[in-house]
Amino acid sequence: MNGIDWQTLRRLRRTYLEGTAGLRDYWQSDADLEAYDRTFAQRIGWKWDFVLADLEARGWRPPRGTVLDWGCGSGVAARACLDHFGRTEITRLHYADRSAQAVQYATRKAGMKYPGLEVAAGAVESPTVLLLSHVLTELSPEQVEALLELALTAETVLWVEPGSFEVSLALIAIRERLRTVFHCVSPCPHQGRCGILAKGNEAHWCHHFATPPSAVFQDPDWGRFAALLEIDLRSLPLSYLVLDRRPAPAPPADTVRVLGRPRIEKAGARLLGCAAEGVREFRLPKRTLPEAFHRFRKGRWPSWQRWACRQDEITEILAS
């Protein structure tokens, strides 16, 4: 991280924590965007990797056409998609942001990374793929409404946000509005009303955890980043939503999306699972399912699983 301006990172972090990022354009220079791109954006990229790997594992690919990365910052979301899905489906990439500096930076960086790809500055109507990443906390209610109008012109929407309670609930409210038009591809294993909204689930939210590359934990620069900005490198909570006008094949009825972190107890783990019939807590007994229990205890579990259950007790892991 040679040449990183740590003061810039501190300023950005303060702006995000204070919730003042929406008030004015905070990108002051290319150096700001470079510092962000090498640190905060890397962490956001790992969240995108989590979402895109999950989509890939389930055989989902984006439709062919234009991609718009809206609120692009340094442009990491589109780069993550290009790195996962390749260039064949992407005919043109557009970057848009209220900051002209950010658009310029993102456009230049993608142009250098993917020679030959058409990369354009500015929004486009009816994008084939709309990418939204960490924008919700910076938008007023009116701006969110305008963004949803744009989303309604897209064929697919991939939206990744922080995994906080408030942001997850905001994204759920958006899902409830858009699911009349789009199919919910992920994280939901069903197309119905979000189970988090059911009575009794007020304390829960739909969030997941991405895993940073292990090299990060041995890297002194990342150690400095964590110490200076008081960020726990191990924890990468996210909430997300993938919507598609194309019909999504229905997953098997016993499919469950594991939400949040498991609660590890002596006799087993308690897991919050989202399934077609709703969101509820399941028990995974250590005695009968020791390997699965071990994976949950170690913090390594695929969030998309299939279980056989007797009431709330998991009796068999059918696929994970």
Ligand X SMILES: C[S@@+](CC[C@H](N)C(=O)[O-])C[C@H]1O[C@@H](n2cnc3c(N)ncnc32)[C@H](O)[C@@H]1O
Binding site for ligand X (CB under 6 A): 22, 25, 41, 44, 71-73, 76-77, 97-99, 102, 133-135, 138-139, 143
Give the closest residue to 277 by CA, choosing from 294, 258, 253, 297: 253
Q: What is the largest CA-CA distance in the chain?
A: 58
Nearer to ligand X by Cβ, of 71 and 268: the residue is 71
What the block records as the tokens of 75 is 């442009």
Torsion angles phi and psi, residue 153, rounded to 5? -95, -5
**Nearest distance from C-beta of residue 26 to ligand X, angstroms:** 7
**Nearest distance from C-beta of residue 48 to ligand X, angstroms:** 8
**What letter does residue 248 receive in the DSSP assignment?**
P
Nearer to ligand X by Cβ, of 13 and 286: the residue is 13
**Nearest distance from C-beta of residue 152 to ligand X, angstroms:** 17
**Nearest distance from C-beta of residue 98 to ligand X, angstroms:** 4
CB-based closest residue to ligand X: 73
Nearer to ligand X by Cβ, of 60 and 95: the residue is 95
Nearer to ligand X by Cβ, of 242 and 289: the residue is 242
Please state the length of the chain.
320
What the block records as the tokens of 12 is 């950005």
The answer to whether 294 and 269 have CB atoms below 8 angstroms apart is no
Rounded Cα distance, 194 and 51, in Å: 19
**Nearest distance from C-beta of residue 278 to ligand X, angstroms:** 31
Nearer to ligand X by Cβ, of 143 and 201: the residue is 143
Give me the numbers of helices (H) and strands (E) for the chain, helices first please: 9, 13
Nearer to ligand X by Cβ, of 82 and 314: the residue is 82
What the block records as the tokens of 25 is 């354009």
The answer to whether 245 and 151 have CB atoms below 8 angstroms apart is no
